[in-house]
Structure 1
Amino acid sequence: MIADSKSPLQRRLIKAGIALLGAGIVVLLFIIGYVLLVLAPNLPSLDAITDYRPKIPLRVYTADNALIGEFGEEHRDFVAIKDVPQVMKDALLSIEDSRFYEHGGIDFRGATRALMTDILTAGYHQGASTITMQVARNFFLTKEKTKTRKLTEILLAYRIEAALSKDQILELYMNQIYLGQRTHGFSSAARIYFNKPLKDLTIAEAAMLAGVPQNPARHNPAVNPIRAKQRQQLVLKRMLDLGHITQAQYTQALDEKIQISSSQQFEAHADYVAELVRQNMYAQYKDDTYTRGFKVYTTIVKAEQDAAYDALRRNVMNYDQRHGYRGPEAFIELPKDEDDRDDAIDEALLKHPSNDMLVSAVVVEVSPKLIRAEPASGDTIEITGDGLRFAAKALQANANRDLKIRVGAIIRASQDGKGRWAISQLPEVDAAFVALNSQDGSYRAMVGGFDFNRKKFNHVTSAWRQPGSSIKPFIYSAALEKGFSPSTIINDVPMPLTSADTGGQPWDPKNDDGKFDGPITMRTALAQSKNVVSVRILRAITPQYAHSYLPRFGFDEAKQPTNLTLTLGTGSVTPVQMAGAYAVFANGGYQVTPWLIQKVTDARGTLVTETKAPAVAQEENRVIDGRNAYIVDTLLREVVRTGTGAAATQRLGRKDLAGKTGTTSDAVDGWFAGYAENIVAVAWMGYDDPKSLGGREFGATLAMPIWIDYMKQALSGKPETQRALPEGVSFMDGDWMYNEFSNGIGIKTLDMDVPPTDGATPPAAATPPAG
């Protein structure tokens, strides 16, 4: 018998080793059995990735492809892997899975190390997930950190590798991964963080995005720029080590200063347009609206939309400046501790966010000659000199406490082109602007209010307001059908009306300027917006006839009165309704229906719906005689040549402008409606809670400047147009009239107590008015 040469200790170690090996085998067999019998049969179907349908938001564009709106829980642009720039792929794989194209879905060295560490420590500490494993997790699993989930992830990774090519897997990952700021996929992240397409990323930017997936909260460039920079440096070092970039490129990328966009940037200010599209799409597609990747192309023109937005904002601010400073928006107490003070300022400004160029800030130092204030950016704004003039009274020692600017006051400031700051304020008044193609009714521009984020109510489509004198051209149009002509003489003298005349309360209509000019032509009466003359005309043709005449222009008959105040605009209209109505005069007598959406495509670019522009000047759409439209056009051109709208001609320097001002009683609403070339546009200003805009304010001072500023852009480079004279119109008695009324049966005078005075016909009537 051979003696055992092993010592007792060695024998114990061998037995322990055998026992440990046996235990390991048992554990391994248990794991294999668990995987085969429990996990494998219950793996989810791969349909979600083999038939990948990413949730892509609704996007809205102008007619010339400028992005103006996006709606959906996830910001995502699907980009095929062939269109992903190589630098983005290199950056991502360098930090996430450098052996992606070499392994079969599992990086055994990393995965084995991670799994053993988890088993030995009875916890979850290691990751070592490949791109394929991350795809499995993102599509099918929760973020719960357990060994069972890890095993399931590995099994799914094998199945994914068997079902898809490497490029397909990488394509899924790069379009699905969450990257902070509600962005999914690298293309969307490039647009949100850097405001540029994926193909234009620099090495430094690509490396910064590649660093985000590990921890989108910690490495988010917009929220944590310092940590994002640190992570970017690791990515760049890996790219250098793997030979994807040179030393020179590495050094340049490290030094590159990256500009992070704090919020999503659209290419034009058209929030009200985008919201109108969203409502329309949701009515048809419900929740699919936000996930199917619809692209909606509107009829809006970017340059004109920008001009409309700027014109409305600028002129609302001009009105607000004319009517004085109302004081700070609020006041806060500033703690003495610097950190506490910064927290208090940040909290206050969250409740008073900046509004485009109107920056909100908290005053930290103030004197009659200087204001220092801190905006949310943490910089310091200094306001001096002319920048203080608007709020001079609020800086006086004896200023009312609610008006006075003091430390802790929340104010607004704006900056001019030279970087100088000035006190400003958010206006209380609101406004609206809409422009249509007068031939086919398509929208060219729409601004539904001063600021969409503050007030989402669209005044263009939904604000029913009194039109004031802007309704008069339609009454004059009705009068032409009753034998009136622009040369008809009407007595502009007081006309007190009794209860018998009005059917109600006695009424003594007045002109806005309080003056009476005696006998004047109908042309002059409209140009000067004479109220009394308009009442006389309406009384002659009857309110009932005029009331039944208005619907042919698209006005809601139920919202118009059937009494003599109709001609002064006491009914209700919306700005877009008014634009459609003036389009009838602009296009020769045809009613148009405003429309906004040209076409809709899906995520693959397939056409879903398309709206063909309607044929123009179709007789079935004619609502007034072409002669009527022509004569009213000459009247509206007179308004902007010699009348209340003359500033339009002076500022734009064109002879083909036509339009009408409108001011309601007590200047509660201010309007200007007009057209030139094939553009009809309407501007309105007023308070949502109706009140006077001021005793010295009129449509010409409130709304017309918006119209002029827009038209300056819209008509730029376009030649003046002249209208052809229609058949059946004659030039007699110094003006145009229907042929059938030229034999003396037309109305020559109205309510004349004295014969016409010399000069009653304006000098311009000696020659045919411009048509």
Structure 2
Amino acid sequence: MKVLKFLLKLGLLGFVLGVVAVVAIYIYVRPDLPSVQELRDVRWQTPMQVYSADGELISQFGEMRRIPLRIEEIPQPMIDAFLSTEDTRFYDHFGIDPIGVGRALFLLVSTGEIQGGGSTITQQLARNFYLSYEQTWIRKIKEAFIALHIEQQLEKDEILTLYLNKISFGHRAFGVGAAAQVYYGKTVDQLTLAEIAVIAGLPKAPSTMNPVSYPERARGRRAVVLGRMLDERKISQQEYQEALQAPVKTYVHGAEVTMEAPYLAEMVRQEMVARFGEEEAYTAGFKVYTTANAKQQRGAIQAVRDNLHRYDERHGYRGPVSVLWESEEKPPQPRVANANNDDVELVPLVASGATAWSDEDISAYLEQHRSIGRLVPAVVTQVAAADAEEQTAEVLLRTGEKVTLPWGSWRWARPYMNDERQGPAPKTVADVVAPGHHIWVRPDPENQWRLAQVPEPSSALIALRPQDGGIAAAVGGYSFTLSQYNRALQAERQAGSNIKPFIYSAALDNGFTLASLVNDAPINQWNPGTGVAWRPRNSPDVYEGPIRVRQGLAKSKNVVSVRLLRALGVDTTVDHLTKFGFERSELPRNESLSLGSASMTPLQVARGYAVFANGGYLVDPYVIERIEDADGEVVYEAKPKVACVSCETGDREFEQAPQVISEQNTFLIQQAMSSAIWGGGSWAHKTGWNGTAWRVTRSSAIVDKAGRNVFGKTGTTNDVKDTWFSGFVSGLVATVWVGHDNLERTLGRSTMNSNLTSKEQSISGAEAGAKTALPAWIEFMEVAIQDVPALPTSTPPDIVSARIDLATGKLSKRTDHTTRFEYFMSGTAPTDYADSNDQESVFESEGGLF
């Protein structure tokens, strides 16, 4: 009895000490216990996602990839896989599994060390949220208390949901949603049983058992998961066997980006970081909806790339990227130009001798070269004999596919000599390539492969909604992979003739009309300070004498622009140009301003042209329409200033953008820019003439939708280093720039290629805005205009029309081809009638007006 009493006392003492110890430990760890609110309001470190205005994913930013899911969105087989492997008694225990704890204690006694295992899903959740992975007693005790606390506060399904969304699966994937995307490019409901088992096996060691880096280890772990599911009767024997035999090897998939717009995405990223800071921007789960239209953005990228390839092809082939082995079928070496534009032999890298590579070696080599834009790396493996009926070459693509390129894919490839010259047209494929050449190919409009090369010039395209400044599309270069420099926003290039509508707008506000005559005659101005005469020239170097202001802008007459600026004065002109948002400090204070010597970004130019498109209002470009947080709540919504008379639309009120020029002024400039496209005169009477942008009239897609309500202006600098086209319909304004990043290099000229038909090479001669930039604008607008309201131009109040004599700009009583109706601001129409014998000169002397 004494022994029994002693044992009872000892047991009671042990119980009391145990309770005291538990209470003491609880008091110690209590500060680490999460609150109920903290448990329920988990803030996932979810990446920022950027969408188009119509909901297509553009990009994702953030170190952690996470796609939070509700429990009902997770398929039952995936839940079964995790429970069978990690915690079969999850729905029965209270946060700690006594059987698991017993197993862990046995391992401790038998090994003398704390081993893994024994932790429930609730304990793993506690560790993932609040603790480290160190194997210590205090961490295990804290883990147990936090697990018990969690079980008291949350339902089982809530705990399981948190767990499946929190745990790491390697390759920066957190949660099963992200794991499915990263490893298989699928949503969780699209996964096979074998794929589910691989994912369910990852929490044990995601860095060493993932199917990308360690497929064999992943296979072994998958077998364990499938075995547990079979033991728990969650799958049948047949399902077990089929999943066990499925392949394991996969690769890391990116986010399901459905719309390519990397330059636009980078604009958003920079703005979000500026608003929220890097940590919050990348982890708060923001969904950013941009102003960009997916269809228009795709059209913009396609237009820029196609246009650069067209330029590159008419200037010649610069040769292979490298030569992997030498061949007897060796074509003449192409040539490239150095900085001085001299002819220099191109000597490609020769990687080996004359022995042809195997397909396996070629594929391994191509794996090291990524695609750029639409360009796919390939290696020529065989060239048809020179006397073959069909000139072809066989190439192996990076994708592993072997394709045959017909003669039509190669015949453009004259040797590039320099920016001004091209070599003779090739007669056979062997004149262009040989086996062993590493080349680029791209799909043509019929999805046939075509010889290509990385374009040397750069380009940018920016499109705005003129009513509020929303950016509809933005392309900052050929490929974001090649260069992250966003030329649409950052490239300050000379505007050339793209500046002339602003000069003419100033003239219309200072006494000129569309019918005013200006002398289109050469200018020779001696500068005694430099001892050099300034002789601005037209391009082409043709002069017509007195011409009307409408014609001067439509034909882009340089000397007319100079004479207008002289009449206005530099200060008056600069004052007017600042109304369009151009910085005064960036505008030259001399007559070169009239020829576009001012440097501007494509976005600045597009913003200026938007004033002409919207009736005279200066809008502020913006790219973010709204921002939603991780719960779908709108935390920011753009409230742009709008170009409108009554700024109230539906239930939303808008602030009106400032009106910087009159509606009448914009209407008259539109009229002149319309003539830049449609020309004037009478072709039947041999007085017809083309505007510089006449190629727009060949586009049935634009003409059928907009009719004559399409307006634009070409732009070319004197040295042809920068080419532009800016134009608009009522609902969209777009600017295209093409030039070399190297400011010393010109765009040159090209000659006709005897291998191609005239239709295939409609452009030759010196490059210019009408030839180099306008085709990209046309291709883009053909796509964009389908979703843009191309409304008719309405005549604003205080605009009158009068029939004028085309030769003198005076009123006319005739109604034949020598006259036309012209528009005027009220009070500015001519009052004199033309006399058939009128020889009065409107000019005083060389360079003078009036």
- Aligned position for 1:693: 747
Q: 2:676 aligns with which of 630, 639, 644?
A: 639
Shift of 1:146: 5.5
State the distance in 1 between where 2:488 and 2:782 align.
21
Shift of 1:556: 1.5
Q: State the one-letter code of the partner of 1:663.
A: T
- Asked whether the 8 Å contact 2:614–2:730 carries over to 1, the reply is no
Report 1:139-178 matches (<5 A). Answer: 139-145=129-135, 149-150=139-140, 152-178=142-168
Task: Say which SS state the counterpart of residue 455 (structure 1) adopts.
Answer: coil
Q: 1:267 aligns with which of 234, 251, 258?
A: 258
Q: State the one-letter code of the partner of 1:455.
A: S
- Over 3 Å counting, the alpha-carbon distance change for 1:701 and 1:419 in structure 2 is closer
- Over 3 Å counting, the alpha-carbon distance change for 1:315 and 1:506 in structure 2 is same
- Asked whether the 8 Å contact 1:519–1:752 carries over to 2, the reply is no
Q: 2:375 aligns with which of 343, 358, 366?
A: 358
Provide TM-score, normalisation by structure 1.
0.83
Shift of 1:49: 4.1
- Asked whether the 8 Å contact 2:316–2:415 carries over to 1, the reply is no
Report 1:8-87 matches (<5 A). Answer: 41-42=28-29, 44-47=32-35, 49=39, 51-87=41-77
State the distance in 2 between where 1:32 and 1:504 align.
103
Q: 1:722 aligns with which of 767, 792, 795?
A: 792
Q: State the one-letter code of the partner of 1:282.
A: V
The reply to whether residue 285 of structure 1 matches residue 338 of structure 2 is no
State the distance in 1 between where 2:782 and 2:63 align.
39
- Aligned position for 1:512: 539
Q: 1:667 aligns with which of 720, 731, 735?
A: 720
- Over 3 Å counting, the alpha-carbon distance change for 1:117 and 1:344 in structure 2 is farther
Task: Say which SS state the counterpart of residue 715 (structure 1) adopts.
Answer: helix
The reply to whether residue 564 of structure 1 matches residue 591 of structure 2 is yes
Deviates more, 1:632-641 or 1:261-270: 261-270
Report 1:676-715 matches (<5 A). Answer: 676-690=729-743, 691-695=745-749, 696-715=766-785
State the distance in 2 between where 1:76 and 1:620 align.
41
Return 5+ residue gaps in structure 1 as ranges. 1-26, 397-402, 755-771
Question: What is the number of equivalent residue pairs in this alignment?
Answer: 719
Q: State the one-letter code of the partner of 1:41.
A: Y
State the distance in 2 between where 1:557 and 1:744 align.
37
Map Cα deviations across residues 587-632 of structure 1 (whole Å, 9 max, x no partner).
1111111122222222222221222343432477211121111111
- Over 3 Å counting, the alpha-carbon distance change for 1:504 and 1:527 in structure 2 is farther
The reply to whether residue 476 of structure 1 matches residue 504 of structure 2 is yes
Shift of 1:261: 6.2
The reply to whether residue 547 of structure 1 matches residue 539 of structure 2 is no
State the distance in 1 between where 2:623 and 2:784 align.
18
- Over 3 Å counting, the alpha-carbon distance change for 1:425 and 1:213 in structure 2 is farther
The reply to whether residue 133 of structure 1 matches residue 119 of structure 2 is no
The reply to whether residue 463 of structure 1 matches residue 511 of structure 2 is no
Shift of 1:485: 1.9
Deviates more, 1:64-73 or 1:615-624: 615-624
State the distance in 2 between where 1:490 and 1:312 align.
37
State the distance in 2 between where 1:385 and 1:83 align.
50
The reply to whether residue 488 of structure 1 matches residue 575 of structure 2 is no
- Aligned position for 1:425: 453
Report 1:93-108 matches (<5 A). Answer: 93-108=83-98
- Aligned position for 1:622: 659
Task: Say which SS state the counterpart of residue 713 (structure 1) adopts.
Answer: helix
Q: State the one-letter code of the partner of 2:579.
A: R
Task: Say which SS state the counterpart of residue 213 (structure 1) adopts.
Answer: helix
Deviates more, 1:521-530 or 1:318-327: 318-327
Q: State the one-letter code of the partner of 2:374.
A: M
- Over 3 Å counting, the alpha-carbon distance change for 1:297 and 1:741 in structure 2 is same
- Aligned position for 2:318: 326
State the distance in 2 between where 1:224 and 1:428 align.
41
Shift of 1:467: 0.8
- Aligned position for 1:24: none
Q: State the one-letter code of the partner of 2:578.
A: P
- Asked whether the 8 Å contact 1:477–1:628 carries over to 2, the reply is yes
Q: 1:538 aligns with which of 556, 565, 574?
A: 565
State the distance in 1 between where 2:841 and 2:74 align.
77
The reply to whether residue 740 of structure 1 matches residue 827 of structure 2 is yes
- Over 3 Å counting, the alpha-carbon distance change for 1:504 and 1:468 in structure 2 is farther
Provide TM-score, normalisation by structure 2.
0.75
- Asked whether the 8 Å contact 1:640–1:649 carries over to 2, the reply is yes
Shift of 1:519: 3.2
State the distance in 1 between where 2:607 and 2:776 align.
18
- Over 3 Å counting, the alpha-carbon distance change for 1:348 and 1:257 in structure 2 is closer
Shift of 1:749: 7.3
- Over 3 Å counting, the alpha-carbon distance change for 1:361 and 1:139 in structure 2 is farther
Task: Say which SS state the counterpart of residue 827 (structure 2) adopts.
Answer: helix
- Identical residues among aligned pairs (%): 37
Map Cα deviations across residues 517-563 of structure 1 (whole Å, 9 max, x no partner).
33332222222212122222222222222111101111112111122
Map Cα deviations across residues 447-478 of structure 1 (whole Å, 9 max, x no partner).
12222233222212221111111111111111
- Asked whether the 8 Å contact 1:72–1:291 carries over to 2, the reply is yes
The reply to whether residue 316 of structure 1 matches residue 316 of structure 2 is no
Q: 2:298 aligns with which of 291, 296, 306?
A: 306
Q: 2:210 aligns with which of 207, 215, 220?
A: 220
Return 5+ residue gaps in structure 2 as ranges. 1-13, 323-348, 386-391, 417-423, 425-430, 646-655, 680-690, 750-765, 805-819, 835-839
Q: State the one-letter code of the partner of 2:671.
A: T
Task: Say which SS state the counterpart of residue 433 (structure 1) adopts.
Answer: strand
- Over 3 Å counting, the alpha-carbon distance change for 1:639 and 1:207 in structure 2 is farther
State the distance in 1 between where 2:435 and 2:110 align.
61
Shift of 1:149: 4.7
Report 1:291-440 matches (<5 A). Answer: 291-329=283-321, 331=349, 333=351, 350=368, 352-360=369-377, 370=393, 372=395, 375=398, 379=400, 381=402, 384-386=405-407, 387=409, 389=411, 411-415=439-443, 421-440=449-468
State the distance in 1 between where 2:212 and 2:120 align.
27
State the distance in 2 between where 1:474 and 1:620 align.
19
Shift of 1:679: 0.6
State the distance in 2 between where 1:336 and 1:125 align.
60
Shift of 1:269: 1.3
- Over 3 Å counting, the alpha-carbon distance change for 1:321 and 1:239 in structure 2 is farther
Task: Say which SS state the counterpart of residue 65 (structure 2) adopts.
Answer: coil
State the distance in 1 between where 2:22 and 2:364 align.
53
Shift of 1:38: 6.8
Deviates more, 1:617-626 or 1:535-544: 617-626
State the distance in 1 between where 2:17 and 2:384 align.
80
- Over 3 Å counting, the alpha-carbon distance change for 1:718 and 1:150 in structure 2 is closer
State the distance in 2 between where 1:543 and 1:576 align.
24
State the distance in 2 between where 1:79 and 1:405 align.
53
Deviates more, 1:87-96 or 1:61-70: 87-96
Q: State the one-letter code of the partner of 1:721.
A: L
- Over 3 Å counting, the alpha-carbon distance change for 1:611 and 1:228 in structure 2 is same
State the distance in 1 between where 2:354 and 2:123 align.
52
Map Cα deviations across residues 557-588 of structure 1 (whole Å, 9 max, x no partner).
21111222112110011111111111111111
